[in-house]
Amino acid sequence: MRAAMARQLSRIMRPDDANIAGNVHGGTILKMIEEAGAIISTRHCNSQAGEPCVAALARVERTDFLSPMCIGEVANVSAEITYTSRHSVEVQVNVMSENILTGAKKVTNKATLWYVPLSLKNVNKVLEVPPIQYARKEQEDEGKKRYEEQKLDRLETKQRNGDVILPVINPDRQTKEPHTVGYSQSSLIHLVGPSDCTLLGFVHGGVTMKLMDEVAGIVAARHCKTNIVTASVDAINFHEKIKKGCVITVSGRMTFTSNKSMEIEVFVDADPFVDEPRERYRAVSAFFTYVSLSKEGKPLPVPQLLTETEDEKRRFEEGKGRYLQTKAKRQAQMQQAAQQ
Amino acid sequence: MRAAMARQLSRIMRPDDANIAGNVHGGTILKMIEEAGAIISTRHCNSQAGEPCVAALARVERTDFLSPMCIGEVANVSAEITYTSRHSVEVQVNVMSENILTGAKKVTNKATLWYVPLSLKNVNKVLEVPPIQYARKEQEDEGKKRYEEQKLDRLETKQRNGDVILPVINPDRQTKEPHTVGYSQSSLIHLVGPSDCTLLGFVHGGVTMKLMDEVAGIVAARHCKTNIVTASVDAINFHEKIKKGCVITVSGRMTFTSNKSMEIEVFVDADPFVDEPRERYRAVSAFFTYVSLSKEGKPLPVPQLLTETEDEKRRFEEGKGRYLQTKAKRQAQMQQAAQQ
Amino acid sequence: MRAAMARQLSRIMRPDDANIAGNVHGGTILKMIEEAGAIISTRHCNSQAGEPCVAALARVERTDFLSPMCIGEVANVSAEITYTSRHSVEVQVNVMSENILTGAKKVTNKATLWYVPLSLKNVNKVLEVPPIQYARKEQEDEGKKRYEEQKLDRLETKQRNGDVILPVINPDRQTKEPHTVGYSQSSLIHLVGPSDCTLLGFVHGGVTMKLMDEVAGIVAARHCKTNIVTASVDAINFHEKIKKGCVITVSGRMTFTSNKSMEIEVFVDADPFVDEPRERYRAVSAFFTYVSLSKEGKPLPVPQLLTETEDEKRRFEEGKGRYLQTKAKRQAQMQQAAQQ
């Protein structure tokens, strides 16, 4: 097995991929990223004789949206396997926007995804991953470090996830004051259809992320009533699968605002109401960060979030912590880059 | 002008058009019906020299789903103009399912739609409709009677519509007892994109009806946890247009159950939050009736709806009234048919 | 059986069906053409008692795009069976664009498709086709001639197809000089989902052609950096079926440019990587011709393709041969028409 198996996916961005200002939705890009990752890792995991399997998304690392993509541009998505553990595959995906009229190209995203091979015959059986070969020993060591780190984080969120209380969604917005949490809270339901699913009959991770971004975007737009775009998504762990025929409820609430950004927490709950007697359960949750743009594409100031309850105040402080941490990390990276 | 300008639209039903039992969603059919109606009435209204216009859906009469349609079958939708008043067009649409393997054909729907021509230059200006010619004088008289009846009903619902209170949606389902109104209540949000809209930049009536059926179906499935299908839709009046870029909230709550059917009230609220300073407003509301089917396609008994508040009890009685009225009307029609 | 069983399919063209200049993609039209053909031929092949079957697309004859279609126009697609051999059906499909505001209608395409009935129980079994009746004896004779000609061509390409080397796709476009073959080469991958497939679980020919047109369009736009539209598609033979769950890679490279047109060769390779141990295989290949249009819709000169390798030079000469042959044929037809 070679370490690098590059894979490319291209598509012209259509009007339905974008908001009315012409900016392609972050969710559309996340869905393409996940499709590329699913294809390359499924192919890799089936590359040796053995039980056929489908690679299921287990985790996406924190992703930044570096520059906007527009209707009519071509999105070029390339994927490469960068590490394999015994039971998981790390895929690195790069997205470039290309204006095919001017030839201008920009990196819009770099994402890291983790996949796990599930047997086609028995979805609860995790198979072994064929090892890849590394050009240099350090690549393997660094990959192993990343693997251990994400494993730890997945364990932690699994425990935390159970605690989270369902958000109270009150659509009676007229009685709410603008800029409160309740004012912009939003939720949608979606019946999982066949095109949303993998060969195993479970929802593609990319489909879930697209719906999450849709809700988060509506929360952000309701808060600041301007053109908004996805700036980043925190690491997302997919602990629980969602089966075809489920109804999923995707809910979002704003947790924090800085001068120029908004953080929105999004929950995905699955309701397997027809086939099985199982109770509704939390499948995924994540934090999305949005910025507000003027008609010329310049960042606008964001109205401060008004917190009312104790919980809202606590979540605001937690959001502030994440914001400051990310800011510090980015500054450290920039300094490091400057020194090199 | 001829009285009959038939128009046919055919399409193979795909997995995405249907639920997991393979029954095509009522909303998919309503969307095709409306597209056929929009094409024929827009063509007719532009058939004489004058200002160009787009026909906008004003009303759909009560529609019954007579037999189910399945994946792989071809839906044949034909439309005909049956009456014109000075400012509106009545279109009769018939839908047949065709199994192209066996050749079997069944009438699945008959719908009557009313369209109004709006100027392409000024969307608030209603233009005049070229008159059609009738084969017999009685056709014109009967059409006029239908026109007066629906006009009256539209006026009435317009007044009633303003009164309706926004439904309180509580997603904290776990705390609700099964079979209560709160247990099955559902809502979704949708950002209106370019493909949802007519040339005037307003949402196609068919797109709205498809979303309404989606929510109503989820409410019905949550209540009885079986395979459910749309049995009928009461008359729907489109009083308010919805513009591209709006967020729409579609909410459904169960109002009544008989032994074998469920009635669900659906509301569509538009939120023009980016472009304009206008408040959120009620765009459409309607009653959908669903039945529950066994794996063999036989109707199943429906668990009775548990009403808790005074409002819920009142709505249940009102639903019972509509149910008994429809039943009486159907029996009268069957007797009439038997005598002919 | 009657010779003519007309079948109509209509749809309003939406923003997603078109490029940013508002011209409907050739691929959208090819997909509608194939759907109409599949419906009429599947219906015909099941019109006599016997084993149920699904008509699978075997070949599309060379198709010219005579005039552009735009967003908001209605596409009217009508299909008719014009010849039947023992095991195949010839369908003639006509597409008209209709501006329902002005009433203007234009013929945009005429296509001829060949279908083969495959048993629903055993996809490898080709069934017999019920014969149609011809109004005149010459119709049958001319049909038979067309049948023999296409049969020969299908045999030839089947042999040729095997030889073709996989295109070297180098996404590292930055290092390539503009107007070279490598500069505009493009490819996309697509995971075959349920809505892409027929009742037999194989990809609809129309879905494949739509993807091919998408890639060819990107190659053309990259080469000349203007608004481009599909001018024609050479005969396409569907030798190999593609199953649900496969990943398909669609690759395109420019082979020839005349003063005002570009020829792009497109390959479709299927990778049945999960279910079966089969190797990746070539499913379809075809030549698409594009023209470049100014903002006013006038044809623009096309930059000459720079050929570098011996293979590129050879393909350019072959493309020139096809170009001159088509030109000569068209002139002969015009002279013939002038003489009539």
Strands (DSSP E) contained in B46-199 are 53-60, 63-64, 74-84, 89-98, 105-119, 186-191
DSSP string computed for C307-340: --SHHHHHHHHHHHHHHHHHHHHHHHHHHHHHH-
CB contact under 8 A, B169 and A171: yes
**What is the spatial distance between Cα B240 and Cα B87, in angstroms, rounded to a whole number?**
17
Q: How many residues does chain C have?
A: 340
Position C175 pLDDT exceeds 70: no
**Structural contact between residues C230 and C95, judged by C-beta atoms closer than 8 angstroms:** no
- pLDDT level of residue C339 (50, 70, 90 thresholds): confident
Residue among C35, C101, C194 minimizing CB distance to B46: C101
**What is the spatial distance between Cα B237 and Cα B102, in angstroms, rounded to a whole number?**
38
**What is the spatial distance between Cα B17 and Cα A282, in angstroms, rounded to a whole number?**
27
CB contact under 8 A, B102 and C52: yes
pLDDT at residue A161 in the model: 55
B17 in catalytic set: no
Return the residue of C nearest to A117 by Cα: C274
CB contact under 8 A, B169 and A169: yes
Which is the catalytic residue, given A213, A227, A237, A269?
Answer: A213
C23 in catalytic set: no
CB contact under 8 A, C188 and A9: yes
With beta carbons under 8 A apart, name residues in chain C contacting A194.
193-195
Q: Which chains pack against C, by 3+ Cβ pairs within 8 A?
A: A, B
- Lowest-confidence pick of A18-22, A224-228, B68-72: A18-22
Query: Max Cα separation, chain B?
Result: 62
**What is the spatial distance between Cα B71 and Cα C327, in angstroms, rounded to a whole number?**
44
Return the residue of C nearest to B15 by Cα: C195
User: Cα separations (Å) of B40 from B93, B333, C324?
Assistant: 10, 29, 44
**What is the spatial distance between Cα B29 and Cα A208, in angstroms, rounded to a whole number?**
27
Q: What is the pLDDT of residues C13-37, one digit of tens each?
A: 888 888 878 899 999 999 999 999 9
CB contact under 8 A, A103 and C178: yes
**What is the spatial distance between Cα A154 and Cα A57, in angstroms, rounded to a whole number?**
13
- Lowest-confidence pick of A299-308, A319-328, B193-202: B193-202
**Structural contact between residues B56 and B21, judged by C-beta atoms closer than 8 angstroms:** no
Position A12 pLDDT exceeds 90: no
**Structural contact between residues A63 and A237, judged by C-beta atoms closer than 8 angstroms:** no
Q: What is the pLDDT of residues A219-238, one digit of tens each?
A: 998 898 888 999 999 999 99
Average pLDDT rounded to a whole number, residues B145-165 = 76
The continuous run of DSSP H or E covering B118 comes out as strand B105-119
Structure tokens at C180: 């070279």
With beta carbons under 8 A apart, name residues in chain A contacting C16.
14-16
- pLDDT level of residue A256 (50, 70, 90 thresholds): very high
Which is the catalytic residue, given C17, C196, C213, C269?
Answer: C213
- pLDDT level of residue A112 (50, 70, 90 thresholds): very high
Helix ranges, B116-171 (H): 137-163
**What is the spatial distance between Cα A64 and Cα A139, in angstroms, rounded to a whole number?**
23
* Alpha-carbon distance C192 to nearest alpha carbon in chain A (angstroms): 10
Q: What is the pLDDT of residues C196-205, one digit of tens each?
A: 888 888 999 9
* Alpha-carbon distance C128 to nearest alpha carbon in chain A (angstroms): 33
What average pLDDT does the structure give for chain C? 88
**What is the spatial distance between Cα B290 and Cα B220, in angstroms, rounded to a whole number?**
7
- pLDDT level of residue A276 (50, 70, 90 thresholds): low
Q: What is the pLDDT of residues B15-53, one digit of tens each?
A: 888 887 888 999 999 999 999 999 899 989 998 878 999
Q: What is the pLDDT of residues A30-40, one digit of tens each?
A: 999 999 999 88
C211: phi then psi, degrees, rounded to nearest 5: -65, -40
Collapse the DSSP code of A274 into the 3-class scheme (helix H, G, I; strand E, B; otherwise coil) and give the result: coil
Q: What percent of chain C has pLDDT over 70?
A: 91
DSSP state of C65: B
Residue among C214, C218, C273 minimizing CB distance to A43: C273
**What is the spatial distance between Cα B263 and Cα B265, in angstroms, rounded to a whole number?**
7
Average pLDDT rounded to a whole number, residues A194-202 = 85
**What is the spatial distance between Cα B49 and Cα B71, in angstroms, rounded to a whole number?**
43
CB contact under 8 A, A194 and C189: no
Q: What is the pLDDT of residues B76-126, one digit of tens each?
A: 999 999 999 999 999 999 999 998 888 889 999 999 999 999 998 998 999
Structure tokens at A154: 């997945």
- Angle between helix axes A26-45 and A205-224 (nearest 10 degrees) is 170
With beta carbons under 8 A apart, name residues in chain B contacting C195.
14-16
CB contact under 8 A, A221 and B273: yes
* Alpha-carbon distance B186 to nearest alpha carbon in chain A (angstroms): 7
Position C226 pLDDT exceeds 70: yes
With beta carbons under 8 A apart, name residues in chain B contacting C72.
199
**What is the spatial distance between Cα A217 and Cα A20, in angstroms, rounded to a whole number?**
13
For chain B, how far is it from start to end, CA to CA, in angstroms? 32
**What is the spatial distance between Cα A103 and Cα B248, in angstroms, rounded to a whole number?**
38
**Structural contact between residues A200 and A24, judged by C-beta atoms closer than 8 angstroms:** no
Position A16 pLDDT exceeds 90: no
User: Cα separations (Å) of A59 from A34, A285, C181?
Assistant: 10, 12, 39
Q: Which residues contact residue A297 at a Cβ distance below 8 angstroms, ignoring those fewer than 6 apart?
A: A68
Which of A173, A326, A184, A198 minimizes the C-alpha distance to A264?
A184
CB contact under 8 A, C8 and B11: no
CB contact under 8 A, C9 and B10: yes
Higher pLDDT, A19 or C263: C263
With beta carbons under 8 A apart, name residues in chain B contacting A195.
15-16
What average pLDDT does the structure give for chain B? 88
Position C269 pLDDT exceeds 80: yes
* Alpha-carbon distance C59 to nearest alpha carbon in chain B (angstroms): 20
pLDDT at residue B10 in the model: 82
Residue among B8, B12, B39 minimizing CB distance to C100: B39
Position B256 pLDDT exceeds 90: yes
DSSP state of C171: -
Average pLDDT rounded to a whole number, residues B233-255 = 91
- Residue showing tokens 């051999």: C85
Q: What is the pLDDT of residues C119-148, one digit of tens each?
A: 989 989 999 999 999 999 999 999 999 999
Structure tokens at B181: 């109104």
Position A6 pLDDT exceeds 60: no
Which is the catalytic residue, given B23, B109, B196, B213?
Answer: B213
Which of B293, B80, B119 minimizes the C-alpha distance to B200?
B119
For chain C, how far is it from start to end, CA to CA, in angstroms? 33
Position B216 pLDDT exceeds 90: yes
Residue among C187, C191, C274 minimizing CB distance to A52: C274
Return the residue of B nearest to C32 by Cα: B11
Average pLDDT rounded to a whole number, residues B184-193 = 87
CB contact under 8 A, A244 and B279: no
Position A271 pLDDT exceeds 90: no
- Lowest-confidence pick of A161-175, B74-88, B242-256: A161-175
Average pLDDT rounded to a whole number, residues A163-191 = 69
Position B322 pLDDT exceeds 70: yes
**What is the spatial distance between Cα C302 and Cα C324, in angstroms, rounded to a whole number?**
17
